[in-house]
Amino acid sequence: MIKDVIYSIESELKDTWKDEPTGHDWEHIRRVRDMSLHLQKIEGGNRDIIHLGALLHDISDHKFNGGILNANGEAARIWLKKLNCPESISYDVCELVDKISFKGANVEIGELSIETKIIQDADRLDAIGAIGIARAFAFGGNKNRPIYNPSVNPILHDNFEQYAKSKSHTINHFYEKLLLLKSKMQTVEGKKIAETRHAFMENFLKAFYTDWNITSKKND
Ligand code: ADP
Ligand code: NI
Ordered per-residue pLDDT tens for the chain, 220 residues: 899 999 999 999 999 999 999 999 999 999 999 999 999 999 999 999 999 999 999 998 887 788 888 899 999 999 999 999 999 999 999 999 999 988 888 888 888 999 999 999 999 999 999 999 999 999 999 999 999 999 999 888 888 888 888 889 999 999 999 999 999 999 999 999 999 999 999 999 999 999 999 876 656 5
| CA 14 – ligand 2 centroid, Å | 15
Ligand 1 atom with the smallest distance to the CA of 139 is 26
Q: Is 172 in the pocket of ligand 1 (CB under 6 A)?
A: no
Asked whether 127 lines ligand 1 (CB < 6 A), one says yes
Tell me the residues surrounding ligand 2 (ion) with CB < 5 Å. Answer: 58, 123
pTM, two decimals, is 0.93
Question: What number does the ligand 1 atom closest to the CA of 127 have?
Answer: 14
Question: How much distance in Å is there from the Cα of 164 to the middle of ligand 2?
Answer: 15
Q: Mind giving me the DSSP string for the chain?
A: -HHHHHHHHHHHHHHHTTT-SSS-SHHHHHHHHHHHHHHHHHH---HHHHHHHHHHTTTT-TTTTTS-SS-HHHHHHHHHHHTT--HHHHHHHHHHHTTSS---TT-------HHHHHHHHHHHHTTSHHHHHHHHHHHHHHTT--S--TTS-----SSHHHHHH----HHHHHHHTGGGSGGG--SHHHHHHHHHHHHHHHHHHHHHHHHHHHHHHHT-
